Amino acid sequence: MEKTKEKRIRRLKRKRIWPSVIGLFVIVGFILVAIVGEFTTLFINILSRELMYGYRLSMKVAESYEAIGEDNSRTPEQMVELYHDMMDELEAVCVYGAQGEILWSSSDMIPKKEEAVTAVLSPMGKEVAVDMVLSESVSLFTIDSNGDMEINEKLLAMIDFSNIYRDGNQLLADEDIWYLIPMNEHTVCVLCKLRIYGHDLQMAVLGMSFLVLVVVLFSLYYLWTLVSMVISQKRTTKIIYTDMITGGENWLAFIRKSTKRIRKVKRGRANKKLAVIHLRMKKYRSFCTCFGFIKGEELIERIYLLLKKQMRRGEVLAHHEKADFGMLLSCSGDEELILRLTTMLQKIDSSFPEIKLKFAIGVCYVEHFHDDVEDLYNNAVLARELCGEDKEPQIGFFNIEMSKQRLWEQKVEADMERALENREFQVYLQPKFSTGEETLGGAEALVRWIHPTEGFVPPNKFIPIFERNGFILKLDDYMLHEVARQQAEWIEQGWKVVPISVNVSRAHFTREDLAEHICEIVDQYHVPHNVIELELTESAFFDDKQVLLTTVRKLRNAGFSVSMDDFGAGYSSLNSLKELSIDVLKIDADFFRGADSLDRGMLIVSEVIDLAKKLNMKIVAEGIESREQVDFLTDQECDMIQGYYFAKPMPIEEFEKNYKKI
């Protein structure tokens, strides 16, 4: 359950943050790549334009040189004249012969062929250029047969972009580029300046800077949104993991932290024991009834804080619900753990001198690092439930038997509704015999579960579970229906019926209209009320005395016989006899266990019988197994006997066969 919640929270967190973060990176990355791409294209266009200009100029020089020399009559004067015409645009011109010798040069700055060609151009493409130049020369660009220009990256590397902003007139590129134009018999080499100024790019840079600024602002805004989202998520997380009563961590946090801790410790240190603790403050409801819920919650908060102070590093504590707390403690074994828990209780005790608080504790050790915290806690709860009330300190340790019991409980709970629908619960009847004549005087209806896979299941294996989960209310109603229906059937068949008693669990005594409810069921079958007896346990007297007294009075007024079951078992109180007027007292079977007629138990039985007689009650002795006991009870003028000596509980068909013969 808690795990599902935890998963949902995690999914919620992941869903909101990650798409936004990824989205931001993708958008910003995309825009930046686009900007850089656009800028590079722009720059290359400018560069190509400048290079193309130099190239065209060089071609013009080469062609003019070819033209004046067509008749092989070039003279230095003609060359000087030609050079002078273009000298504003040219830096230098030189002509190489077929063997690489310099035929003519415009200045002393004669480019040595080896280094002259730091930049090489071949109008016909790269391959030709390579042929034309020396090995160390680099072709900075080439023009293919379609006239498209391809610029070598080395040329781009020569350019200093850092100046663009400082000064638009700053030269970004100021390179001497030798254009090498191969002609028929010679090569014309023209030196042009490649100049690119900052202002050529400045507008583009400004535009792009603006874009970058927008991107940055957008990113900042987005980041801010993300940060606030994370902050608000952290806050939400804090709320999700906070207990509203104690202000500390809540149950979800307990499960999360404990799970992490268990995984960590169990993988690491094998000698360290971890224990999941369930601690319950007893009688919290009564405390709230007396002092109110606000005081109750304040008390829980104070207990939480006192416990918190005693937690060691890595240990976990949380308020679970009502007056329950969960803890994950580390210890070396039972002894140390009991000592710690007792110390905790003592500290709480000394902090509340004005009230006596009582606690019950369940412990379940962690065995495997993959153990589920909720299961461990439930085991600890079971250990607390099964630990005796009178133990001091009341600490119960979970064991494997309890685990089997839990599995059985889970099975019972899973099957019970279906069992009721499929009529798997069967009524068994145990006869009650009168003393003296020893004839059938009544019977008790006892339930049996005929389970489709488990077979015959006795009531002690499921009644206590039903009493805990409330299903006993449905089962008792079912039994009452079955008994009333059976009595109606027998009456209709003309048989002489004896009263059949039905057990009424103490859980029923929370409803004030219990008597009306019982009447309503029985009346559906139109049977006289005196053929039904209702067995109440004495313990119901201690729950809600008033409801019990009123119900008994109403039931007796309605003509039902009411008996007090198990008298003398558990905490019996003669006081209940004083206040409660009932018809039958059933003396508990425990009085007759391992006892002979001289036993103290027998003495008490005879006194109880005497007392009941004086109070006008009938006596039924339960669990009678021997002739001796029967004789003793007959002597004591006990009215009826129920026990294996006469008969065990049996199915209705058998009861009919044995006792309904006309």
Give the interface with Ca ion as residue ranges (CB under 5 A).
503, 535, 565-566, 622
Q: Does 176 bind ligand C2E (CB under 6 A)?
A: no
**Closest distance between ligand C2E and the C-beta of residue 456, in Å?**
11
Our CB check for ligand C2E shows the closer of 302 and 517 to be: 517
Q: Does 473 bind ligand C2E (CB under 6 A)?
A: no
**Closest distance between ligand C2E and the C-beta of residue 476, in Å?**
5
Answer with the entry of Ca ion, ligand C2E, none that 447 interacts with (C-beta below 5 to 8 A by kind): ligand C2E
Q: Which stretch binds ligand C2E (CB under 6 A): 138-146, 396-404, 486-494, 642-650?
A: 642-650
545/541 Cα distance (integer angstroms) = 5
Q: Does 621 bind ligand C2E (CB under 6 A)?
A: no
Place of tokens 């007629």: 597
Tell me which of 72, 350, 460, 546 binds ligand C2E, using CB under 6 A: 460
299/284 Cα distance (integer angstroms) = 10
519/70 Cα distance (integer angstroms) = 137
Q: Does 482 bind ligand C2E (CB under 6 A)?
A: no
The number of helix segments (H) and strand segments (E) in the chain equals 21, 21
Tell me which of 133, 265, 281, 479 binds ligand C2E, using CB under 6 A: 479
Q: Strands, DSSP E only, in 374-520?
A: 394-397, 425-434, 440-451, 455-457, 500-504
Alpha-helical (H) ranges within 123-269 are 126-132, 153-157, 163-166, 198-240, 251-268
DSSP 8-state symbol, 615: T
561/559 Cα distance (integer angstroms) = 7
**260-269: burial string, b at 16+ Cβ within 10 Å, e else:** ebbeebbeee
**Closest distance between ligand C2E and the C-beta of residue 605, in Å?**
15
Q: Which stretch binds ligand C2E (CB under 6 A): 118-126, 137-145, 202-210, 456-464?
A: 456-464
Q: Does 458 bind ligand C2E (CB under 6 A)?
A: yes
Q: Which stretch binds ligand C2E (CB under 6 A): 159-167, 289-297, 453-461, 517-525?
A: 453-461
The DSSP code sequence of 515-541 is HHHHHHHHHTTT--GGGEEEEEEGGGG
Give the SS3 label for residue 390: coil
Q: Does 486 bind ligand C2E (CB under 6 A)?
A: no
Q: Does 534 bind ligand C2E (CB under 6 A)?
A: no
- CB-based burial of residue 396 (10 Å sphere; 0-12 exposed, 13-18 middle, 19+ buried)? buried
End-to-end Cα spacing for the chain: 60
Q: Does 210 bind ligand C2E (CB under 6 A)?
A: no
Give Cβ neighbours of residue 220 (< 8 Å, ≥ 6 apart). none
Size of the site for ligand C2E (CB under 6 A): 23
**Closest distance between Ca ion and the C-beta of residue 656, in Å?**
21
Q: Site map for ligand C2E, 432-451, x if CB under 6 A?
A: --------------xx----
**Closest distance between ligand C2E and the C-beta of residue 481, in Å?**
11
Q: Does 559 bind ligand C2E (CB under 6 A)?
A: no
**Closest distance between Ca ion and the C-beta of residue 565, in Å?**
4
Q: Which two tokens stand for residue 25?
A: 């990176």
Q: Does 90 bind ligand C2E (CB under 6 A)?
A: no
150/546 Cα distance (integer angstroms) = 105
Q: Please, which residues bridge with residue 181 across strands?
A: 188
Q: Does 644 bind ligand C2E (CB under 6 A)?
A: yes
> By CB under 6 A, what part of segment 52-81 binds ligand C2E?
none
Answer with the entry of Ca ion, ligand C2E, none that 625 interacts with (C-beta below 5 to 8 A by kind): ligand C2E
Q: Which stretch binds ligand C2E (CB under 6 A): 9-17, 271-279, 519-527, 622-630?
A: 622-630
Answer with the entry of Ca ion, ligand C2E, none that 364 interacts with (C-beta below 5 to 8 A by kind): none
DSSP 8-state symbol, 140: -
> Which residues in this chain contact ligand C2E in the complex, by CB under 6 A?
430, 446-447, 458-460, 463, 472, 476, 479, 503, 505, 565-566, 589, 622-625, 642-644, 649
